[in-house]
Amino acid sequence: MGDLCAGRVVIVTGAARGLGRAHALAFAREGASVVVNDYGVSLDGTGASSGPAAEVVAEIESFGGSAVACFSDVASWEGAADLVSTAVEAFGRLDVLVNNAGFLRDRMLVNLSEDEWDAVIRVHLKGHFAPMRHAAAYWRGVTKSGGTVDARVINTSSGAGLQGSVGQGNYSAAKAGIAGLTLVAAAEFARYGVTVNAIAPAARTRMTEGAFAETMAAPADGFDTMAPENVSPLVVWLGSVESREVTGRMFEVDGGRVCVSDGWRPGPVRDKGSRWEPAELGPVVKDLLSQAAEPMPVYGA
């Protein structure tokens, strides 16, 4: 057991399996009290069960950690409010929110249904916004009452959100939205003593094992680069008091690799000083593109 997060109260959504479970266990091993949130649904978001979250709580308690389960649907307004209330009622405070919950309904865009689009956007994008909104309201209340806040939000984006993924238009759009939401939240929450960062992890989970079965197979020996536990140390550090100067950042993380993603920023530019004519722009655009870096290829293209 370590003490990097001793005394801190942490919510982890989607914490019963994969990355969320690894995060919850890692925080508990560093002294945090953990709210293990999971609705207990299957990979496509159907069904619900309290069993998986309760199992993680029992595992944390088995090594002397402190945890409670919360089975709320974080993509519902009431469920997100209940999530924050659970932390405050169980442990008296909230210091860290790790937004991780999600599921997949993969399909090529030409075959993607409205329900499949709505469901994935809801669980990933609204499932990040709603907990952040209720957590931020709690932290704002603490500051207004004269208290001191040193809080963290860690969101979960994806390489699919940063560069796209064939067959995952709904997921890619939601994860790109999370990247943008992270920037806005970092700017808005700073006044309350809250930092907001995001990760784009790569690991072997229920959501990735089908798409990357060959590359993500566990090695017979040596370092398992795709183990979910490889991602959690960065998440735990971002949740600690040590990270208070870091906000509005996106980290790609997998295996032993940590990368700060630069994101969108202005590149080559031409300014005529007056309105362009459409016919003029062909050579201008070609010249600008010749100076710009090639875009990262879309996954699966």
Q: Is 47 left (phi over 0), alpha (psi -120 to 50) or beta?
A: left
- Residues 6 or more apart whose CB falls under 8 angstroms from that of 212 comprise 204
Residue 301: inside a domain: no
Q: What is the CATH number of the domain that holds 82?
A: 3.40.50.720
Residue 70: inside a domain: yes
Residue 274: inside a domain: no
Residues 24/56, Cβ–Cβ less than 8 Å? yes
Residue 104: inside a domain: yes
Residue 282: inside a domain: no
Q: Check if 158 is active-site.
A: yes
Residues 207/102, Cβ–Cβ less than 8 Å? yes
DSSP secondary structure code for residue 220 in this structure: S
**Total structural domains in the chain?**
1
**What domain range is 133 assigned to?**
9-261
Catalytic-labelled residue, pool 157, 171, 232, 299: 171
Residue 299: inside a domain: no
Is the pTM value of this prediction over 0.75? yes
Catalytic-labelled residue, pool 158, 172, 232, 240: 158
Please tell me the distance from the alpha carbon of residue 124 to that of residue 178, in angstroms, as a whole number. 8
Other Cβ atoms within 10 Å of 86 Cβ, number: 19
Residue 230, SS3? helix
Residue 165: inside a domain: yes
pLDDT of residue 211: 47
Catalytic-labelled residue, pool 157, 175, 232, 299: 175
pLDDT of residue 205: 63
pLDDT of residue 45: 44
pLDDT of residue 263: 86
Please tell me the distance from the alpha carbon of residue 22 to that of residue 17, in angstroms, as a whole number. 8
Q: Check if 171 is active-site.
A: yes
List per-residue pLDDT tens for the chain, 301 residues long.
899 999 999 999 999 999 999 999 999 999 999 999 998 655 554 555 578 899 999 999 999 999 999 999 999 999 999 999 999 999 999 999 999 999 999 999 999 999 999 999 999 999 999 999 999 999 999 999 999 999 999 999 999 999 999 999 999 999 999 999 999 999 999 999 999 999 999 998 655 555 444 555 556 567 899 999 999 999 999 999 999 999 999 999 999 999 999 988 899 999 999 999 999 999 999 999 999 999 899 999 8
Residue 256: inside a domain: yes
Alpha-carbon distance values, 272 to 122, 231, 277 (Å): 43, 47, 11
